Structure 1
Amino acid sequence: MIRKLTEADRESVMMLVGREPSLNLFIIADVENFGFESDFQELWGEFDAVDGRLKAVLLRYDGSYLPYAEGEFDVQGFAELVLSGKKKEMLSGSSPIVDRLAQKISFTKEKRLFFAELITLQEKGETEAGMNFQINQAGVEDVEAVCSLLDQIQEFSSSAESMRSGMQRRLETRTGRSYFVEKDGKVIAVVSSTAENSLSAMIVGVATHPEYRGQGLASYLMRRLCADLLAENRTVCLFYDNPVAGAIYKRLGFKDIGGWSMMHI
């Protein structure tokens, strides 16, 4: 049986998704920060017909849908919920789960990523040139300066408006933070977190100005941000699809724990 979830289901939801806090960091963060009654967010759950146990959930955040299940779940039922949504843009989640839904939903584009987790930060290896720079934690007043750097990076340049609004929302709601270094008054490297919750956090927006690459600035910022998050008893996660970037992350102690799929509807 699938039904819409309410505040009364919070404990059951958190018990289910809390068993894999890294894979479920978006669901955990959105429930903790926005609950069950927001206009932009809804959750549905599938309950076992025999013992009434919650065994699968589907989150809608604006036009994005994110499923999670332990074992078998009602694929057709979840697919119908996605397809019936007034606003539907993306389906994302653990690849084995999303792949099953992909058999029922047509997609215009897909992206597959490695999902990595950090539990213990590795000791420093080579000397990082970034140690000569002061690390700054961004406030709302720094959004434009940080995003001006991201505008120059091909990976981020196509989403300027959403990038700025997303960063501002994260900082205002304290669901994420950004650390950066600057030279001559301009931001030259940055790393951010998002979906921060009581158990985990996601690293995003790792970028270095082209003229300053190869100096260890991104690693320097990553190490500081990861250390701060781990000190707060949060597991740190990230996506990557570039083997070169993956090697850098693994030197810090990240380990692959699965695949993540993003399907554009």
Structure 2
Amino acid sequence: MSQTTLAELNACTRTEFIAALGNIFEYSPWIAEQAASARPFVGIGALFETMKTAVERAPAELRLALIKAHPDLADKTQRAAGLTAESDAEQNSAGLDRLSDAEYDAFERVNNAYRSKFGFPYIVSVRRQTKDSILRDFERRLPNDVNTEMQTSVGEICRIAALRLDQLVGADDRLQVHGRLSTHVLDTHSGKPAAGIAIELIELSALGAARVVTRAITNADGRTDQPLIGGRPVPIGRYELIFNVGKYFAERQVQLSDPPFLDQIPLRFAVSEPEGHLHVPLLVTPWSYATYRGS
């Protein structure tokens, strides 16, 4: 999606407005058509609420058509036929384009079970999820009735739309769709921030390979220059942070055993609030370490 501004959307023609926002809701330009008549918008929040209201007030058959416009997750046939650019990027963000055989089999099983029961595709905002959390969500939602799943699906569609709108439109206000994951290393042996420690953030997977999310080096304040994850939701799931502390203490000529008692420290934790701020610090000496859940 090419970037635009709210001012440009307020000033453009109705046809241009619909063309720009027609796929904020998957293959459903009628939502942008309704929003076009409500211009000008004072902020992106007002624009999103107008589009969301159009969905919520639409007849049931139109909401069902909106749900059915979405693709199945991790479906090889649909990917070969061609997804929308937005859906393709969203599925790739969760690693659904590179599943292990076990993961693919699991997704095929739950997709088929869900469609067989409800008659429409399972929908979730995958930018807020990992592969593991999506599979768990599938299982949680399968016992629901059709009406509950239609309501849940519309809610997830609105989350998808909010993230798409946030990426597409620049405005003075912002939608509350981003989270943050950060860390901080304190050398409690010397009583100062630990600079120069190599950190690796890994997304864990029950059925597939672990995936490196990012690598960073702590700065003079013992923090990373940028959040480990920022400017987007922090996907629900299980993670591991690996801190390379042995090299750090050796370079400071701290007397260590050979090999050092602590070399790489792995911290495993879970994320449950994609739009929250999760801070995972490390307090470390050559012989001990501690952590806590910060914010």
- The normalised TM-score by structure 1 is 0.28
Q: Considering fraction of residues, name the structure with more helix.
A: 2
Structure with the greater relative contact order (CA < 8 A, sep ≥ 6): 1 or 2?
Answer: 1
TM-score normalized with structure 2 length = 0.26
The higher radius of gyration belongs to 2
Question: Comparing both structures, which one devotes a greater share of its residues to strand?
Answer: 1
